[in-house]
Amino acid sequence: MAISGRKIYNIMPSVSLRPTYWTREDVTFFSQHGPSPAYLKRFHLSDSDYCSCGGIGTALHYATECIFTVSWHMRKPTPNFELEWLKRIANILVSRQRIRGIIKFISENRDLFRPP
C-alpha cells in the first residue's frame, strides 16, 4: 500500500464539501514535505537530518522544541498522542497561525536551519 498522502489523510480522513482554507504553510507542516533536514535527508538531498540546534529537524521539532522557533512553540505531545495532537492543532486557527509563523520563519532564514 502506498504511503503518499497518508499524513494528511490521518489528520483529515474524509472528504468534505466545506472548504478548509489551508495555506501553503499548513500543507507544508502537516504533510511534513517542507525544507526540513529530515525530509531532505529522506530523499538524499542532505547528508544529515539534524537541525542546526542539534535536534532532529522535523515539523514536530520546530513546533515544540527548536530554540530558533521558541516564539511559536506549542506543548509537545507524548509519542502515543502525536496523531491526536496533529488533528487538534489542524482544527484550531490560533495553532495553525503559529504553524504558519514557523514555516514562514524557516523559509526566510534557511541558512539558520542547515545541519551543523
Tens digit of each residue's pLDDT (9 = 90 or more) over 61-96: 999 999 999 999 999 999 999 999 999 999 899 999
Domain for residue 12, yes or no?
A: no
Condensed to tens digits (0 to 9), the pLDDT of residues 18-72 reads 777 889 999 899 888 877 888 889 889 889 999 999 999 999 999 999 999 999 9
Domain for residue 84, yes or no?
A: yes
The three grid cell numbers given for residue 111, joined into one nine-digit string: 541558512
Query: Does the pLDDT at position 2 exceed 80?
Result: no
Distance between start and end Cα atoms, the chain = 36
Domain for residue 95, yes or no?
A: yes
Domain for residue 5, yes or no?
A: no
Return the CA Rg of the chain: 14
Instruction: Write the DSSP symbol of residue 74.
Output: -
Confidence of residue 116 (pLDDT cuts 50, 70, 90): low
Q: What whole-number distance in Å separates Cα of residue 43 and Cα of residue 112?
A: 21
Residue pair 109/102 in contact (Cβ under 8 Å)? The answer is: no
pTM: 0.81
Domain for residue 2, yes or no?
A: no
The domain tally of the chain equals: 1
The three grid cell numbers given for residue 61, joined into one nine-digit string: 521539532
Question: Domain range holding 106?
Answer: 24-112
pLDDT value at residue 21:
81
pLDDT value at residue 1:
46
